[in-house]
Amino acid sequence: MSTALDTLTRMTDSLTACTRGALPQSEMIRQWRSDAASLPLPEKFGTVLGNLLDRIEASALFSEESCSFSQKDLFANLQLWADKARAQCLKAE
């Protein structure tokens, strides 16, 4: 498995741990920002990820779900981002 795919696996593992409450949200976000910077992806991936992570950070200011932010939906969108990033990395191999 390539380094990029290993990185994406670590990222999705931390997302899973965060959704289970086993990893603080701030630590998951820090890891995603750091790890994503090393991935060989088009610029638009970074833009989309940055927006998602910013919204997740903002959602932490609210308890549970609010009308503006659904953490469950945001986490699902992170998983979708990771799936698309994985497909992009596989295509580039």
Residue by residue, pLDDT tens for the chain (93 residues) are: 489 999 999 999 999 999 999 999 999 999 999 999 999 999 999 999 999 999 998 877 765 555 566 788 999 999 999 999 999 999 887
What per-residue confidence (pLDDT) applies to 70? 79
Residue type, 78: L
> Could you count the other beta carbons within 10 Å of the beta carbon of residue 37?
11
What per-residue confidence (pLDDT) applies to 66? 52
CA–CA separation, 70 and 65 (whole Å) = 5
Q: For the whole prediction, is pTM greater than 0.85?
A: yes
Contacts of 53 (CB under 8 A, 6+ apart): 29, 32, 33, 78
What per-residue confidence (pLDDT) applies to 26? 93
How far, CA to CA in Å, does 81 sit from each of 62, 66, 72? 23, 22, 14
> Could you count the other beta carbons within 10 Å of the beta carbon of residue 6?
11
